[in-house]
């Protein structure tokens, strides 16, 4: 594996661990509450708290718009959009269906927040192929 790609993977892993650390909670509602703390201060603060999103944008440009880098950015973008939509639904509009409430309050598997550590690095490695 190329040393440069390895450095990108390590940097991404460090940034992803940071994101997991500040978002980690026992339920999705707990995660949303932690995120809402920054979202309520300013939407830009919320975005700053997601450094892997910016890494993905930069990596996309550095990889000359490789398909795997596009996929990485797409997934990171969808992740942030879904978080914002859920925050809006729960904390701003305060309109929750009983099913959504049940899903948000259900306990999460302790390994679920770390799934990004398994999904994203292979996309970075595949750009070197």
Cα angle, residue 88 at apex, residues 100 and 73 outer, rounded to 5°? 95
The secondary structure element, H or E, covering residue 72 is helix 67-87
Q: Are 9 and 128 in contact (CB under 8 A)?
A: no
Report the number of distinct structural domains present in the chain: 1
> Which of left, alpha, beta for 107 (phi over 0: left; psi -120 to 50: alpha)?
beta
Q: Please name which of 48, 44, 16, 20 lies closest in space to residue 34, comparing C-alpha atoms.
A: 20
- Length reported for the chain: 129
Q: Which residues of the chain register pLDDT less than 70?
A: 1
Q: Please name which of 116, 35, 114 lies closest in space to residue 81, comparing C-alpha atoms.
A: 35
Residue 56's pLDDT is 97
Full residue range of the structural domain in which residue 89 is found: 3-126
pLDDT, tens only, 83-115: 999 999 999 999 999 999 999 999 999 999 999
């Amino acid at each position: 594996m190329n040393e440069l790609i390895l450095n990108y993977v390590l940097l991404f892993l460090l940034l992803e661990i940071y994101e997991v650390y500040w978002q980690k909670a026992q339920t999705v509602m707990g995660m949303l509450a932690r995120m809402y703390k920054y979202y309520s201060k300013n939407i830009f603060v919320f975005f700053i708290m997601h450094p892997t999103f910016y890494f993905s944008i930069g990596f996309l440009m550095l990889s000359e718009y490789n398909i795997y880098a596009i996929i990485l950015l797409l997934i990171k973008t969808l992740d942030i959009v879904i978080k914002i939509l859920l925050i809006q639904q729960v904390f701003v509009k305060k309109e929750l269906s009983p099913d959504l409430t049940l899903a948000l309050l259900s306990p999460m598997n302790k390994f679920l927040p770390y799934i990004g550590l398994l999904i994203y690095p292979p996309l970075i490695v595949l750009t070197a192929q």
